[in-house]
Amino acid sequence: MNDHRPIPDTDYIAEAATLLAHDDAFDSGAVVPPIYQTSLFTFGSYAEMADTFAGKRRQPIYSRGDNPTVMEFEKRVAALEGAEAARGFASGMAAISATVLAFVGAGDRIVAVRNCYGDAYRLFERLLPRLNIKVDYVDGSDPDAVAAALPGAKLLYLESPTSMMFELQDLPHLTRLAREHGIVTTIDNSWATPVFQKPIAHGVDLVLHSASKYLGGHSDTVAGVVAGSADHIRRINEQTYSYLGGKLSPFDAWLLLRGLRTLPLRLPHHMKSGLTIAERLKAHGKVERVNHPVYSNHPGKATLAGYTGLFSFEVTDDVDIPAFVDALTYFRIGVSWGGHESLVVPAKASLEQTPGVNSMARFGVSPRTIRVNIGLEDVEDLWSDIAQAFEKSKK
């Protein structure tokens, strides 16, 4: 197996652990921030209100804009990503759509990696053409293909590794190319999290997350966040955030703050169990290929300080995929990932979703691909479950 820690001198896990356990934002001495479950914040006088509206005084006005619990979450994510600022959203898709639409308009073009998350693809294919915004898809692992597509584009949309196929992109190389053309670069970093990849350090402008995944980590919240420079986040605030209205709720922000505290503890477990299962699948006679970044020789691996627990594998023709999925007992059948529980999704079913607007079908993902989310259960229990499911699914 290849080296798991391509950045040997950076201890992201230790750094995140101290950062996330330490809460000094509230004066009361409480170790957990309160949930500010309020829609608005009132002013003591006309002068306070006028100064706040004029930007001379900082105070939350209305929770569609700012809320202290949400701001605490935003501060944490910004610190983890090494960003100046962050903005929380009601979902990963709210973060993605508000970010993209803040930087492109009618007549503009986006260059996106093929095999990006399915609903990001559907946003690009369904909504953006109605606004006269075009999206070209490239094999993000090929810098020449990206370089050829970039001239004239406004935004480069990355996701490393990509959904379902787990292809990598060389972040320093691609962001250098984008910068030469004055193009803003965004990345969906939900898979690696800032504990295992810090894209801003490699030139990415805006880092997007579905916080519903590892950041929350307990499958109890749908949320999103974007992190970047103060100027870029200001632009999102001014152009889309307040008007599209996809704000994060204080209670969800609080759940995320709770989830974040254990992120540096959860990830090494997901990584270890994920690698164990990947290795055993690779050696299994019913598996043709394992799509896990650990097996890649692509330079994009250099920015990953570790691996999480989501990957896919392709089974041989004599495996009855529905029977395999139904035979699993610890792996539940479901779409999301990044939580405590193990999950399975066969590409065969996903390929039937939204016919005509399906990136997996368009970019040739094999129907023999099965994606697994390796949760926090005992790894030997998980492997026994997979082994018996193979036994029960022989054609």
Query: Which of 72, 188, 205, 314 lies at the binding interface for ligand PLP (CB under 6 A)?
Result: 188
CB closer to ligand PLP out of 1 and 335: 335
C-alpha torsion angle, residues 102, 108, 109, 112 (rounded to 10): 0
Strands of 114-258, DSSP E: 134-138, 155-159, 184-188, 206-210, 224-228
Residues 20-39 that bind ligand PLP (CB under 6 A): none
| Residue 75 annotated in active site | no
Q: Which residue is nearest to ligand PLP (CB)?
A: 92
CB closer to ligand PLP out of 259 and 390: 259
Residue 91 touches ligand PLP, criterion: CB under 6 A: yes
Residue 169 touches ligand PLP, criterion: CB under 6 A: no
CB of 118 to ligand PLP, least distance (A): 8
Tokens linked to 368: 């023999």
Comparing CA positions, the residue from 112, 213, 223, 90 lying closest to residue 160 is 112
Q: How far separated are the first and last CA of the chain, in Å rounded? A: 31
β-sheet bridge partners, residue 207: 187, 227
- Range 16-24, long-range pairs (CB < 8 A, 24+ positions): 16/80, 16/194, 16/195, 16/263, 16/264, 17/264, 17/265, 19/76, 19/79, 19/80, 20/76, 20/80, 20/260, 20/261, 20/263, 20/264, 21/261
Stretch that binds ligand PLP, among 27-35, 89-97, 104-112, 134-142 (CB under 6 A): 89-97
CB closer to ligand PLP out of 225 and 319: 225
Asked if residues 92 and 210 have their Cβ atoms less than 8 Å apart, the reply is yes
CB of 156 to ligand PLP, least distance (A): 16
| Residue of 5, 23, 64, 234 with catalytic role | 64
Residues 106-165 that bind ligand PLP (CB under 6 A): 117, 163
Residue 227 touches ligand PLP, criterion: CB under 6 A: no
CB closer to ligand PLP out of 192 and 233: 192
| Residue of 198, 213, 266, 301 with catalytic role | 213
Query: Which of 92, 140, 194, 346 lies at the binding interface for ligand PLP (CB under 6 A)?
Result: 92
Residues 321-340 that bind ligand PLP (CB under 6 A): 336
The site that binds ligand PLP (CB under 6 A) totals a number of residues, namely: 12
Residue 279 amino acid letter: E
Stretch that binds ligand PLP, among 85-93, 317-325, 326-334, 359-367 (CB under 6 A): 85-93
Residue 212 touches ligand PLP, criterion: CB under 6 A: yes
| Residue 64 annotated in active site | yes
DSSP letter string, 88-118 = EESSHHHHHHHHHHHH--TT-EEEEETT--H
CB of 61 to ligand PLP, least distance (A): 26
What lies within 8 Å, CB to CB, of 29 at 6+ separation is none
CB closer to ligand PLP out of 140 and 224: 224
CB of 40 to ligand PLP, least distance (A): 26
| Residue of 170, 188, 205, 252 with catalytic role | 188
Residue 354 touches ligand PLP, criterion: CB under 6 A: no
Kind of pairing between the strands at 134-138 and 206-210? unpaired
Kind of pairing between the strands at 369-373 and 310-315? antiparallel
Residue 135 phi, psi dihedral angles, 5° rounding: -125, 125
Q: What is the Cα–Cα distance from 369 to 386, expressed in whole angstroms? A: 15
Q: What is the Cα–Cα distance from 356 to 225, expressed in whole angstroms? A: 29
Query: Which of 190, 240, 249, 308 lies at the binding interface for ligand PLP (CB under 6 A)?
Result: 190
Tokens linked to 395: 């054609």
Q: How far is CA 78 from the centre of its chain?
A: 15
CB of 392 to ligand PLP, least distance (A): 28
What is the binding site for ligand PLP (CB under 6 A)? Answer: 91-93, 117, 163, 188, 190, 210, 212, 222, 224, 336
Catalytic residues: 64, 117, 188, 213
